[in-house]
Structures are given as C-alpha cells and as structure tokens.
Amino acid sequence: IKEVVKFAEEHFVNIIPEIEMPGHASAAVAAYPNLACFPSPDLKVIESWGVFEDVFCAGKEETFVFLEDVLKEVMALFPSEYIHIGGDECPKSRWEKCPNCQKRIKELGLKNEHELQSYFIKRMEKFLNANGRQIFGWDEILEGGLAPNATVMSWRGESGGIAAAREKHKVIMTPEDYVYFDHNQGYSLQEPLTVGRLTTVHEVYNYNPTPVDSLTIEQQKYIYGVQANIWSEYVTSPAKLNYMLYPRLFPFAEIAWTETKNKNYSNLMLKRFPHHIEKLESQKRL
C-alpha cells in the first residue's frame, strides 16, 4: 500500500480508501465472529457475491473498538483527508433480532434500525473527524439522518445526491444507470461476461452530474464531482480491466471537466477519440 500511495502521489493522484461498514462485512465477521450479532462458527467467508445478512453488530462496544483500530491503521497508511466508510447495502434483519442492537436502540431512544445505522456512521465520523479526517458514505447514509460532515456518494440514482445537496452536504454523483463501468458497453453477443445491464459511451457522455432541474444555483455548488465505479467481480485480468475502462473513461473525463455548453460529442468521437485509441494501442492497453 505504501508503494501504491507513493506512486499515486508522484502522479498527483490521491487514493481514498474505503473500509466498508456496517454491511458487506461477512469476511470480517467470519474472522471475528464476536463482531456479529449472533456469533457462530458457521459464519463463513462468502464464496459468491451479493448482499449478506451477517453484518457488524451495532450494539456491541467491541465492534467500535475494532473498527477504530482498523481505521487507525488505515490512517497511518493513507494520507487522504477523506476516508470512505461505505454504509451501503446493510440488511437490518440481524439487528432487528439482536438483543445488543435492540438495547442500543432503546437506550438512545432511536426510532428504528435505520436510525441505528445513522448512529453507527455518526459515531465513526466523530472518531475520524477527531483525527482530522472527513468521511464519504454511499447514499444509504441519508437513511435515519446524515452524519453532520459527511460527503455523500449518490449511486442508487441521483435522488440521494439531490437530497444531500439540499441539506448542504457535499455530493459526488455516481449513479449506477450512467457511470458503472462494470456494466456491458455494447450490444454485441461477443461482449465479455459482465454483471449485465448496458452503459454505452454515448450514455456516459450525455450524463450531466449536476442536476440543474432539481437544484438551485446555490445548491448546485454542493455537487463536488462525479465518479465512475468499476466493481471487479467479473474483471478477471488486467486486459479485461482496460477493456471495461476504455473507451468509457474518455467521455467520463469530459463530463467531469467540461461545461455542458462546451460539450461536443462528434468532436470527441471523430477528432479526439482516434488519438486516444492510438495512444492506448501503443501502450498495448487495447
């Protein structure tokens, strides 16, 4: 990690780590069963992918001790001001039945498990803020109330980002319908195996990360940027990674940096694309 961070710094790139909580934690609770609501030797590292019910217990103090320790190690490795703490896709089924989680809900006078998740994220934010860091969270962190200084990554569409901007929170737009590069990029049957769905170069190019119809000029200032996601479940080689990234990364760069009025699709495709393709070919990336 130190080498990667150094290489990135030399190229003016800031790496933001994501430590997922309280969901997507099945490997962690398999290794440390006490951190689950219902510890059991049956908790296994999952060998497929998806969203799983055994998440970090939000009622036990040791969960927070553990995660603060993890984040201390993360902060020592990553100088980034921002640290992503996930927050997405956390089923609440275990919390609903867990005596520790229910005790926490009662003691704090919380309304439901969404407010318990909000407590979880706010508590971790407080820890990171006290250490001079800021948090990113996926848009689920809006449910049950936003942590005071959180920046929201809006992935389940734009509505989470719109709501966060209206609450004067910084937003990164990354809606799955437009900027998920693990989707197919063409209609051909020869496209490689992916998670499915379709996101073409043209769709990426037509996406405007600033929802001008839903936000006032003042609120639009909270849209800090746009992010493309490529989840790697189906990315089986560096060559496939390049295939999934390019050429969609070119229109993506354009929507990140170019004002809408200056966008020009045919200029991008006919004038500039050929140079990019030539460069990638010479780098043996296509």
Residues that bind ligand ACM (CB under 6 A): 88-89, 138, 155
CB 1 within 8 A of CB 15: no
Output the DSSP codes for 240-281: HHHHHHTTTHHHHHHHHHS-GGG--HHIIIIIIHHHHHHHHH
Q: Which option in ligand ACM, Zn ion, none does residue 85 bind, with CB closer than 5 to 8 A by kind?
A: none
Q: What angle do CA 214, 145, 93 make, to 5 degrees?
A: 115
Q: Are strands 151-154 and 134-138 parallel, antiparallel or unpaired?
A: parallel
**CB-wise, 25 or 37, nearer to Zn ion?**
37
Confirm if 153 and 182 have CB atoms less than 8 A apart. no
The owner of tokens 């036990």 is 60
User: Should residue 59 be labelled a site residue for Zn ion when binding is judged by CB under 5 A?
Assistant: yes
What backbone phi and psi angles, to 5 degrees, belong to 36? -90, 160
CB of 281 to ligand ACM, least distance (A): 31
Told to check if 29 binds Zn ion by CB under 5 A, we report: no
Smallest gap from Cβ 182 to ligand ACM, in A, equals 9
Among the listed residues 55, 71, 98, 110, the single contact to Zn ion using CB under 5 A: 98
Size of the site for Zn ion (CB under 5 A): 6
Q: With CB cut-offs between 5 and 8 Å by kind, which of ligand ACM, Zn ion, none does residue 155 bind?
A: ligand ACM
Is the CB of residue 74 less than 8 Å from the CB of residue 127? Answer: no
Show contacts with Zn ion in window 2-21 (CB under 5 A): none
CB of 264 to ligand ACM, least distance (A): 31
CB of 91 to ligand ACM, least distance (A): 13
- Residues in touch with Zn ion (CB under 5 A): 37, 57, 59, 98, 100-101
